[in-house]
Amino acid sequence: MAEDQGEENMASKLEALQRWVDEAAALTRPAAIHWCDGSEAEYQALVRQMLADGTLVELNQQTHPGCYLHRSNPADVARVEHLTLVCHPEREDAGPNNHWMDPAEAHAKMDALFDGCMRGRTMYVIPYCMGPIDSPLSRCGVEITDSPYVVANMRIMTRMGAAAQARIEREGTFVKGLHSTGELDPERRWIMHFPAERLIKSYGSGYGGNALLGKKCHALRIASNQARDEGWLAEHMLIVGIENPRGETHYVAAAFPSACGKTNLAMLIPPEGYRRDGWKVWTVGDDICWMRPGADGRLYAINPEAGFFGVAPGTSNDTNPNALASVARDTIFTNVAVTADNQPWWEGLPGTPVTDWQGRPYDPANGPAAHPNSRFTVSAKQCPTWSEKAEDAQGVPISAIVFGGRRPSLLPLVMEAQDWTHGVLMGAAMGSETTAAATGAVGVLRRDSMAMKPFAGYHYGDYFAHWLSFDKPGMKLPKVFHVNWFRKGKDGKFLWPGFGQNLRVLEWMIARVEGKARGEQTAIGTLPAPGELNLDGLDIDAAALDELLAVDTAGWQAELAAIGEYLEGFAPRLPERLRQERRRVADALDGDVVAPRTATA
């Protein structure tokens, strides 16, 4: 592949693209340029090249055909939020939720790093489409990189190659991404976004979110700006279809901070009784959701990604058998451990590791065998619950939007927003409490509005206003809910079993969408009325259910005060409508005397 400088068959007909590639080549000075076509032959040639130079290690091809292991530099194993900047021309437009640098200064800093950085390397030009190739909701980009590992991952994670390039040439627009692994020096590492230019520059990292520029960089930080300008939403949400025994499917988009069961919900396996009755769950996406109003006023969603870039540790037959089945073949693993017979291994799997994620003989004194942020990259189509609707050009209609966090107390199992404005407040206020003693303080609440804190590419106040702007005549907006699978009892144990049992909560949401559940009105939202949650076959006592759905008025008054303080951090751009909505709920609580629930189990 090093002799591709003269390739003409894929040379772009689009002058703007060719000019940008020429400019990038003049800056980085590669030994060769390769225009990626996305073909299987190209992928296999890349794999052979990476096996030869040690970038990839072949895993057991009998147990895991087409699977390979990549070990990254130990100093390059995660996103680096403090080095991830959003460079709007005006600092205020980035907001307190982003790190900012003046665009001119940022360009100068990055171009100095890129100067000559690809000497002796091949420069790969990756045309890609985020979303189905023929969908009007999709948006295209071109990533230039010197990493064959990035090329291989982008082929799995996006619609990459000739078809994407054809669309780019047809439309004449694309997001630009320039990436180099550089020296992998943490002191020379930056991920810069230039929303006004639809441009990303990333240097010094080979890690997924920093290097696969179609993922968080384009699909969230740049796309959130595109979405604001064009009237849609780019969100950090899974998309899951719930099919009832009558064959009717409702699609749900859900946002959760990390460690809150997002992938498990996207690939949920119904409890045995539900399966017997004919309920099915369909996976459209596990991480990112783009939503746009349709002609009928409903929101329609696509998953802009074509694959899963999932966290390996904790993925097992007990927690997520669908994810485990997905990675049995044609998967790139990153920073996992290896067993004696050369199978990938991480905490939660049976078997014994002999080599850790750094390639050393496994020694517990060195820490976990697999890195806690070790990953798998795999085509979404390999998931047993993958939905063909993920390829629908028009997207799927969203019936409900769900927000959630990890809260051991106060937040009920499920509550429904009174209306869209109340739902935006729920999303803005969501967050999780720290649980690991190793972090120092336990029980510290970290708010992560819409699970977008590291990813909203502009001021959160303007972002909230954009969400509110969808509430207008002619719109048939989804109902909005908040869930909390993690409420604990006085004994410190979880009150709700979670995992597949969460379908019981989704069933109630769908009943609310269809107007078949009355619900119980409270100051904080609508909760399931006694008897409305299907508990057949579930071993949960009445006291636990009452605690899961209890409304602590005093606790909520304190919560609303804290929410108000948090939101004022985005003034003066905080929408007055959101401020008034917080006040409305607080006033309702002040006048609320919550009657004790009637036991329902």
Which residues are known to be catalytic?
260
Q: How far apart are CA 273 and CA 536, in angstroms?
A: 8
Place of tokens 């950090």: 236
Identify the CA nearest to 294 among candidates 108, 452, 159, 474: 474
Contact 355, 338 (CB under 8 A): yes
Q: Are 396 and 173 in contact (CB under 8 A)?
A: no
Neighbours of 492 (CB within 10 A): 7
Pairing between β-strand 307-311 and β-strand 375-379 as defined by DSSP bridges: antiparallel
What is 468-487 written as a DSSP string? HTT-STT--PPEEEEE-TT-
Q: CA 466 to CA 462: how far, in whole Å?
A: 6
d(CA 252, CA 479): 10
Distance in angstroms (rounded) separating the CA atoms of residues 132 and 120 = 35
Query: Exposed e or buried b for every residue in 151-171, given b needs 16+ CB within 10 A?
Result: bbbbbbbbbbbebbbebbbee
- What tokens appear for 307 in the block? 């694959």
Residue 124: name the closest of 67, 190, 181, 168 by CA. 181
The structure tokens listed for 512 are 């609310």
CB 479 within 8 A of CB 427: no
Give the start-end residues of each E strand in 484-557.
520-522, 525-527
Q: Which helix (H) or strand (E) holds 332?
A: strand 332-334
Tokens 């990292």 sit on residue: 205
Closest CA to 460 of 80, 98, 86: 98
SS3 content of the chain, % helix, strand, coil (to 5): 35, 20, 45
Distance of CA 232 to the CA centre of its chain: 17
Q: Would you say the C-alpha torsion 235, 332, 498, 454 has a positive or negative sign?
A: negative
By the 8 A CB rule, do 183 and 121 touch?
no
- Is residue 213 within 8 A of residue 179, CB to CB? The reply is yes
Residues 6+ apart with CB under 8 A from 74: 358
Using DSSP, state whether 583 is helix, strand or coil. Answer: helix
- What is the DSSP code string of 10-22? T--S-HHHHHHHH
